Amino acid sequence: MKSDLNKQLATLSMYERAILIYCLHAYFSSGNYTNNLPLGEMLPEFAAMFDANPGVNVFAKLADLQMTTTANDQTEVKVFEAMGYQKEGQYLVTILNKQADLQALLKIVDK
């Protein structure tokens, strides 16, 4: 299962990987599964895409990222429960899945 996760991570763009790392570090420093990433400040070109077409999914691979749960290594869950764009403030709002093994994921992406 870990090799499948590594394959998924290898397909992420540099931006998707940065967003994932940001969300994981924000969670471990705050304990909050919900993150408001300032997309307008960090990646204004992506915020402009969302502003022009709110239904666009430019981070599809990141939104579909799956890994095993902490309780059972056979069960796969999405890393993000939800991901959306908040036009006011230009935030990418993400909610990490409580069932995903976020500690293991952080170790992998921090390498």
Tell me the two tokens of residue 109.
Answer: 């992406």
pTM to 2 decimal places:
0.90
CATH number at residue 18: 1.10.10
Domain region containing 92:
2-109
Q: Could you give the CA distance from residue 79 to residue 41 in angstroms, rounded to a whole number? A: 24
Report the domain count for the chain. Answer: 1
Instruction: Reply yes or no on whether the pLDDT at 2 is more than 80.
Output: no
Rounded to the nearest angstrom, the gap between the alpha carbon of residue 104 and the centroid of all alpha carbons in its chain is 14
Mean of per-residue pLDDT scores for the chain: 92
Query: Is the pLDDT at 77 greater than 60, yes or no?
Result: yes
- What are the tens digits of pLDDT across the range 16-69? 999 999 999 999 999 999 999 999 999 999 999 999 998 888 899 999 999 988
Q: Which residues have CB under 8 Å from 69's CB, separation 6+? A: 75, 76, 77, 99, 100, 101
- In this prediction, residue 74 carries a pLDDT of 76
Helices 102-109 and 14-30, interaxial angle, to 10°? 130
